[in-house]
Amino acid sequence: MNNSTALLIVDAQYGFMPGGGLPVAGGHAIVPVVNRVAPRFANVVLTQDWHPRDHVSFAANHPGRQPFETISLPYGEQVLWPVHCVQGTRDAALHEGLRVDHAQLIVRKGYQRDIDSYSAFVEADRRTTTGLAAWLQARGITRLWLCGLATDYCVAWSALDARAAGFEVTVIEDACRAIDLNGSLAQAWADMAAAGVRRVDSAQI
Question: Are the C-beta atoms of residues 61 and 69 closer than 8 Å to each other?
Answer: no
Q: Is residue 99 part of a domain?
A: yes
pTM of the complete model:
0.96
Strands 198-200 and 105-109, sheet pairing: unpaired
Q: Is residue 58 part of a domain?
A: no
Interacting residues of 127 by C-beta distance below 8 A, sequence separation 6+: none
Q: Is residue 139 part of a domain?
A: yes
pLDDT at 181: 87
Q: Is residue 37 part of a domain?
A: yes
Can you give the residue range of the structural domain that contains 16? 5-51+82-204
Q: Which residues of the chain have pLDDT under 70?
A: none
Q: Is residue 66 part of a domain?
A: no
Number of other residues whose CB lies within 10 A of the CB of residue 81:
23
pLDDT at 1: 73
Whichever domain contains 105, its CATH number is 3.40.50.850
Q: Is residue 65 part of a domain?
A: no
Q: Is residue 62 part of a domain?
A: no
Q: How far apart are CA 153 and CA 159, in angstroms?
A: 10
Could you report the per-residue pLDDT of 131-186, keeping only the tens digit for each?
999 999 999 999 999 999 999 999 999 999 999 999 999 999 999 999 998 899 99
Q: Is residue 57 part of a domain?
A: no
Count of structural domains, the chain: 1
Catalytic machinery residues: 11, 109, 154
Instruction: Give the chain's radius of gyration (CA, Å).
Output: 16
pLDDT at 180: 93
> What is the per-residue DSSP string for the chain?
--TTEEEEEE--BGGGSTTSSSPPTTGGGHHHHHHHHGGG-SEEEEEEE-B-TT-TTBGGGSTT--TT-EEEETTEEEE-B-S--BTTSGGGSBPTT---TT--EEEEES-STT----SSSB-TTSS-B-SHHHHHHHTT--EEEEEEE-IIIIIHHHHHHHHHTT-EEEEEEEEEE----SSHHHHHHHHHHHTT-EEE-GGG-
pLDDT at 102: 96
Of 71, 21, 8, residue with least CA distance to 50: 21
